[in-house]
Every structure is written in structure tokens, then in C-alpha cells.
């Protein structure tokens, strides 16, 4: 099967395949930087340091979305990823909203449980 695919008539050459689409290193670097900045913001919490780190994270995310929206090749997101008028955009916005709404359920009950346990031990 692979020999037929490689040697069939009209198969694109290797150089044409390489020029077809580039790997989006810059987009992935911005996204990785944003994730690392979010993690760094929670390591040492302080008013100014955490605010600066979160602001840098937001800049990386906005830069990622802006560059991905302008990219012709090697996009990571579909066109208009958060547009409510497209089915993909509506689904992505719903997933983002559910994630934001339920993230508190993972942190707040544990905080309350830890607080209750520490009061019972005192």
C-alpha cells in the first residue's frame, strides 16, 4: 500500500510536500510561554509579582490568538475560533465557559476542607 502511494502517477515530490505546510514553532512557543507563566504565577504569590506574571501570560495568549488568526499555513485553531455564529466557535466558547465556571469547584472545596481540618486539630 505504501509503495503504491509513493510511486503512483501524479504523486507530489518530496520538495513539494516540504513546502506545503510549515510547523508552527512560533505559535507553539507563545502558547507554551503562556502556560509556563500561569504555572509560575502560582508558585510564589505576591500582589505585584503575580499581577505582572498574569499580565505577561495574557499578552502571550493575545499574541498567540492574533498570530494564529493571521496565519495562512500552520494554524492551530480554526478560523474565527470563538465566533458564536459558527458551530465550531460556539462549541469552543462553550467548552471555555464551562472550564472557567467549574475550575473553582476543584480549588474552593479543598480549601474549605483544609480549613475545617486545621480548626478541628487546634
* Residue with grid cell 490568538, as numbered in its chain: 65
Domain count, the chain: 2
Determine contact, residues 27/76, Cβ cutoff 8 Å.
yes
pLDDT above 70 coverage of the chain, percent: 82
Q: Do 90 and 120 belong to one domain?
A: yes
Three-class SS of residue 115? helix
Q: Which residue has the cell 479543598?
A: 110
31-56 pLDDT per residue, tens: 999 999 999 988 888 889 899 999 99
- What is the distance of C-alpha 77 from the center of its chain? 9
Is the domain of 72 the same as that of 29?
yes
The helices-and-strands tally (H runs, E runs) of the chain is 5, 0
Quick one: 65 and 92 in the same domain? no
Do 36 and 59 reside in the same domain of the chain?
yes
Whether pLDDT at 16 is above 60? no
Indicate whether 91 belongs to any domain. Answer: yes
Residues 44 and 72 in one domain: yes
Amino acid at each position: 500500500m505504501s509503495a503504491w502511494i509513493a510511486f503512483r502517477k501524479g504523486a507530489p515530490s518530496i520538495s513539494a510536500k516540504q513546502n506545503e505546510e510549515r510547523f508552527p514553532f512560533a505559535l507553539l512557543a507563545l502558547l507554551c510561554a503562556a502556560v509556563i507563566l500561569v504555572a509560575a504565577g502560582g508558585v510564589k504569590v505576591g500582589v505585584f509579582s503575580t499581577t505582572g506574571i498574569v499580565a505577561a501570560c495574557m499578552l502571550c495568549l493575545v499574541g498567540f490568538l492574533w498570530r494564529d488568526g493571521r496565519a495562512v499555513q500552520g494554524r492551530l485553531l480554526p478560523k474565527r475560533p470563538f465566533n458564536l455564529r459558527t458551530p465550531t466557535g460556539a462549541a469552543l466558547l462553550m467548552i471555555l465557559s464551562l472550564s472557567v465556571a467549574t475550575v473553582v469547584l476543584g480549588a474552593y472545596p479543598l480549601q474549605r476542607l483544609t480549613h475545617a481540618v486545621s480548626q478541628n486539630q487546634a
